[in-house]
Amino acid sequence: NDIKKIFFTILPTEFLSILLNFYSKTPKFKRIFNCLNKVQISFNDKNPIDNEIALSFLNQKKTLSFPIQWNSNKYSQLWRFNLHYFDWGREFLEIKLKTGKWTYDSKFLEILIDDWINNNRLGIGDGWHSYTISLRIRNWILLFRICPELNNQFRVDSLWQQICWLYLNKEDYIGGNHWLENLISLIVGSLQFEGGKAKEIFRFSLKELEKELLHQLL
């Protein structure tokens, strides 16, 4: 698996994109979960003039300028991993659901999603680590489902591409929580899409999850 990752890293991005699209073009995003409470992105200014945002992980607050340097060596890898997880995006949403109000930094949400897509070359950097993909997939799905305005084809294409990349770069050789996170995200992710490839990913991941849970629990 490590050799495969190295091989993917040295391939040109354009070739990787062709390979991944050949592997599976983006299927239709399902129209499901109508029972969820929908939240409107109702900012006065969806394109804030401010050119920076402050995020805090691991008791370390950093001020980031746009475009974000997602893989900057100025930050520890663990801090960068937290940046790529998009847990903070889910936290913006949780505050909105609890208080009825978006935080100030929430207005950057759309910009940050697009900035991640535009500035993380396919297969390169912390954002394409299988573990960070696993957490980001679930966070993006939650955001896209509860905030339908975030759901456009550009972002859905990226979501599907990340699911396919994760399926091709599973951490079964590591096992443990990494493997569980991979499988759970593949199950949740595949359920969002129609088509044969999504069903293949779902069936495989559900079977492997059952095996891994039995192994870990017993």
Roughly what angle, to the nearest 10 degrees, separates helices 153-168 and 109-119?
Answer: 50
DSSP symbol at 56: E
pLDDT in tens, 135-188: 999 999 999 999 888 989 999 999 999 999 999 888 887 777 888 999 999 999
Residue 70 confidence (pLDDT) above 90 = yes
pLDDT in tens, 21-34: 656 688 999 887 66
Contact criterion met (CB below 8 Å) for 144 and 136:
no
pTM of the model: 0.86
Residue 54 confidence (pLDDT) above 80 = yes
**In Å, what is the CA distance from 134 to each residue of 92, 126, 163, 166, 211?**
19, 12, 8, 7, 19
User: Nearest CA to 126 among 52, 204, 57?
Assistant: 57
Higher pLDDT, 12 or 203: 203
Contact criterion met (CB below 8 Å) for 63 and 54:
yes
